[in-house]
């Protein structure tokens, strides 16, 4: 037979169970406004029954609290984090593309700054045809050509500023990833310490899940929590970034940013970061599954629309104590499209990356370019043998990587192509004309040497050229149009100082009113043969339209993804969030159940009182 006082014990278990349920409900209600809080639930089950003598079987022993768990669906957690990573990617790209677009446009947001300068220049050239001898109109034209050049160089400068901003932001994001990974590992250690005896550290788990949600904005993550193989150990908790371990239970691994020597694009800023794991493990920063704002920043900073320099190694020689590598079958055989660094560039031959200090080009009779790169530093015998092996086996040569995104290098290359192609056609016409003094025209559209600020003298169709430009014995910097970029694009200072040098006449000494050569310059604006895209004007509008389309697409994708994330979060909250009406109902429910247990205890107390005090026992 069970103990006389057994009923009191049963009532006590019920009171404890429903008191815990009531307290948990109050805790849920208190955290309705808490970000990241997950609704908790007390799980109850019947206490193991006890066997009694007398032949009537087993007697129930009341209720027990199994645990207090979170109402959380891991499917929605994974889905939320995956889509949060996509949103982080799209929103970051939207920010930078919007900045690029704003740099292309003037303050009214409607008229393109570069196209405005271009149109103003051509309107002035057209007006000048009415009276080429008018010095006021010549001065206006010279000034407007300078304004146009400043529009172009200002846009190029802004692109470099954006690239630097993205580079700095990459370091910031990497630091955030490291910090969040460390916090997740620290919380996991606290959770494991608390849960070693079977309890559930629900509020600590909420903190950890909130950190994982934040982490997913920066990079796509995979979270796994698996039971331990031994019964007396905590679960195995892992966080992966693109297949590599960021958090292994209570230990976190870190990434680091390393400023890279040299560059891979002609107008890249120096010190672009390469990301590596601090434990020596490779980090694939070109992975298409990297996700988050980190992938977006890398693509914006380095994206070249899959147009990097490619060639085949053909020969290695020693020239003046320097190692020179020759390459053929180059992907670029057009000066206007060549955007590799003039000096201090990184070149990958086979699987080994070197730094070159300069390069030279020989143009073959078939128009194909043969490149020779002078490698930086001294090389060991084994390195020379490696280079020779690469040449003997025609190993691939690459400068930069093929990145499928239109980032800052892509738009810089488009700008370089415009200024080179248009300037070459413009100067070729201007050089064929004659100025007010019947002197032959000079290169009107020009570029400044980075060190001296002097203008160049261009060879329109060079059969060879060097990336390094130096003054000849006459102090003239003779070079190819490769040396002209959006950054150094300018107007020949001789024309700014003396607008009379604008070559309007077709022939010398035929009268200052002759405008035949000037008309050719005016007609160039509508010349369809200058660019593949058509006229110079069409090329500029195509460039600006492309930026606008890319920006609009990024904005649309970001907005759409934000709506998707809100929908997923709503579904997630329907499972794990606190509903005040539901909790209010639970409050009444557990209050009534608790009152029932009080009634049980009261009845048991009366029975025992009668038994003890009201009998003659």
Domain co-membership, 199 together with 281: yes
DSSP-derived letter for residue 321 is T
In a domain, 151, yes or no: yes
Asked whether residue 256 falls in the same domain as residue 133, the answer is: yes
Q: Predicted confidence band at 11 (pLDDT cuts at 50, 70, 90)?
A: confident
Q: What is the mean pLDDT of residues 136-156?
A: 95
pLDDT of residue 597: 87
Residue 488, domain member (yes or no): no
User: Which range is least confidently modeled, 127-141, 387-401, 442-456?
Assistant: 442-456
495 is a domain residue = no
Looking up residue 316, the CATH number of its domain turns out to be 2.40.30
Predicted confidence at residue 144, as pLDDT, reads: 96
Residues 354 and 300 in one domain: no
Domain membership of residue 173 (yes or no) is: yes
> What's the confidence (pLDDT) of residue 616?
53
**H or E, element range at 289:** none
Residues 205 and 313 in one domain: no
Whether 285 and 324 map to the same domain: the answer is no
Please tell me the predicted confidence (pLDDT) of residue 53. 66
Q: What is the mean pLDDT of residues 244-269?
A: 95
183 and 238 co-located in one domain: yes
pLDDT class of 6 with cuts at 50, 70, 90: confident
Q: What is the mean pLDDT of residues 510-537?
A: 92
| pLDDT score at 108 | 44
Q: How much is the pLDDT for 196?
A: 84
Whether 53 and 42 map to the same domain: the answer is yes
Mean pLDDT, to the nearest integer, of 153-172? 97
**For residue 601, what pLDDT is reported?**
84
The interaxial angle of helices 113-128 and 74-104, nearest 10 deg, is 20
287 and 433 housed in the same domain: yes
Q: Is residue 612 part of a domain?
A: yes
Q: Taking 70 as the threshold, does the pLDDT of residue 309 lie above it?
A: yes
Tally the residues of the chain. 617
pLDDT of residue 3: 67
How many Cα atoms sit within 13 Å of 260 on the Cβ side?
20
Residue 107 pLDDT? 43
pLDDT value at position 462?
Answer: 87
Mean pLDDT of the chain: 91
- The answer to whether residues 266 and 339 touch, using CB atoms and an 8 Å cutoff, is yes
pLDDT classification of 231: cutoffs 50, 70, 90: low
Check whether residue 77 and residue 174 sit in a common domain: yes
Number of domains observed in the structure of the chain = 3
Whether 123 and 223 map to the same domain: the answer is: yes
| Residue 599, C-beta contacts closer than 8 angstroms, at least 6 positions apart | none
Could you tell me which residues are beta bridge partners of residue 348?
Answer: 353, 398
In this structure, of 38-52, 224-238, 499-513, the range with the lowest mean pLDDT score is 224-238
pLDDT value of residue 386: 94
Lowest-pLDDT choice from 296-300, 567-571, 575-579: 575-579
pLDDT exceeds cutoff 90 at 2: no
Higher pLDDT, 138 or 513: 138
Residue 109 has pLDDT above 50, yes or no: no
Per the domain annotation, does 480 fall within a domain?
no
Burial readout 415-439 (b: 16 or more C-beta within 10 A, e: otherwise): bbbbbbbbbbbbbbbbbebbbbeee
> Which tens digits make up the pLDDT trace of 176-188?
999 999 999 999 9
CA distances (Å), origin 341, targets 263, 400, 441: 7, 10, 31
* Average of per-residue pLDDT across 586-595: 91
Tell me the mean pLDDT in the region 457-484.
89
- Measured CA distances, 605 to 156, 362, 608 (Å): 89, 107, 5
pLDDT surpassing 90 at residue 251: yes
Q: Say if residue 65 is in the same domain as residue 94.
A: no
> What is the band of 65 on the pLDDT scale with cuts at 50, 70, 90?
confident
| Mean pLDDT within 315-343 | 94
- Count H helices and E strands in the chain, helices first: 12, 21
- Domain limits at 25? 1-71+581-617
For residue 112, pLDDT over 60 is answered with no
Position 451 scores a pLDDT of: 83
User: In this structure, what are the phi and psi dihedrals at residue 203, rounded to the nearest 5 degrees?
Assistant: -70, -35
Greater confidence, 321 or 159? Answer: 159
**Residue 504 falls inside a structural domain:** no
**Is residue 304 located within the same domain as residue 201?**
yes
- The per-residue pLDDT for range 416-447, each reduced to its tens digit, is 999 999 999 999 999 999 999 999 999 999 99
Residue 503 lies in a domain: no
The residue among 616 and 426 whose pLDDT is bigger is 426
Query: What is the pLDDT, as a whole number, of residue 56?
Result: 63
Q: What is the pLDDT of residue 611?
A: 76
């Amino acid at each position: 037979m069970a103990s006389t006082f057994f009923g009191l014990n049963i009532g006590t278990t019920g009171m404890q169970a429903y008191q815990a349920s009531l307290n948990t409900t109050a805790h849920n209600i208190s955290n309705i406004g808490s970000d990241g809080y997950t609704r908790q639930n007390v799980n109850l089950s019947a206490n193991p029954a006890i066997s009694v003598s007398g032949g009537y079987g087993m007697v129930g022993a009341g209720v027990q609290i199994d645990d207090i768990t979170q109402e959380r669906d891991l499917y929605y957690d994974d889905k939320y984090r995956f889509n949060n990573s996509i949103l982080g990617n799209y929103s970051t790209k939207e920010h930078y593309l919007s900045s690029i677009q704003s740099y292309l446009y003037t303050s009214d947001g409607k008229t393109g700054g570069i196209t405005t300068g271009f149109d103003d220049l051509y309107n002035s050239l057209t007006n000048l045809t009415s009276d080429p001898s008018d010095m006021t109109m010549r001065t206006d034209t010279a000034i407007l050509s300078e304004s146009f050049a400043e529009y172009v160089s200002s846009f190029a400068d802004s692109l470099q500023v954006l690239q630097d901003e993205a580079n700095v932001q990459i370091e910031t994001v990497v630091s955030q990833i490291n910090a969040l990974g460390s916090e997740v590992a620290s919380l996991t250690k606290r959770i494991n310490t608390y849960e070693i005896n079977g309890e559930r550290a629900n509020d600590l788990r909420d903190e950890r899940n909130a950190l994982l949600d934040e982490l997913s904005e920066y990079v796509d993550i995979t979270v796994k929590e698996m039971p331990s193989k031994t019964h007396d150990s905590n679960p195995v908790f892992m966080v992966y970034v693109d297949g590599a371990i960021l958090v292994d239970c209570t230990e976190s691994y870190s990434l680091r940013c390393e400023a890279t020597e040299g560059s891979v694009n002609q107008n890249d800023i120096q010190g672009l970061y390469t990301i590596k794991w601090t434990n020596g493990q490779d980090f694939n920063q070109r992975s298409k599954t990297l996700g988050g704002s980190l992938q977006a920043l890398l693509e914006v900073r380095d994206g070249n629309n899959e147009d990097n320099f490619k060639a085949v190694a053909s020969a290695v020689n020693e020239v003046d104590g320097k190692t020179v590598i020759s390459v053929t079958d180059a992907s670029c055989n057009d000066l206007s499209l060549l955007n590799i660094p003039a000096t201090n560039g990184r070149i990958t031959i086979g699987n080994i990356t070197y730094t070159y200090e300069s390069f030279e080009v020989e143009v073959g009779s078939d128009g194909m370019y043969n490149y020779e790169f002078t490698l930086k530093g001294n090389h060991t015998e084994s390195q020379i043998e490696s280079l020779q092996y690469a040449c003997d086996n025609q190993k691939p040569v690459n400068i930069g990587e093929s990145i499928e995104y239109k980032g800052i290098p892509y738009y810089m290359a488009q700008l370089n192509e415009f200024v080179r192609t248009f300037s070459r056609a413009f100067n070729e016409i201007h050089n064929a004309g004659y100025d007010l003094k019947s002197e032959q025209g000079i290169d009107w559209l020009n570029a400044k040497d980075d060190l001296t600020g002097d203008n160049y003298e261009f060879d329109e169709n060079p059969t060879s050229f060097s990336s390094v430009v130096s003054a000849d014995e006459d102090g003239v910097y003779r070079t190819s149009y490769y040396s002209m970029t959006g950054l150094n694009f300018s107007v020949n200072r001789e024309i700014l100082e003396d607008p009379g040098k604008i070559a309007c006449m077709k022939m010398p000494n035929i009268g200052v009113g002759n405008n035949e050569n000037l008309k050719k310059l005016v007609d160039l604006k509508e010349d369809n043969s200058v660019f593949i895209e058509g006229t110079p004007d069409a090329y500029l509008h195509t460039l600006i339209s492309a930026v606008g389309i890319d920006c609009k697409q990024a904005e649309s994708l970001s907005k759409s993804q934000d709506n998707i994330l809100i929908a997923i979060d709503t579904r997630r909250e329907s499972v794990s969030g606190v509903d005040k009406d539901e909790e209010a109902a639970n409050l009444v429910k557990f209050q009534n159940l608790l009152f029932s247990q009080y009634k049980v205890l009261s009845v048991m107390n009366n029975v025992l009182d009668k038994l003890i005090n009201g009998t003659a026992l």
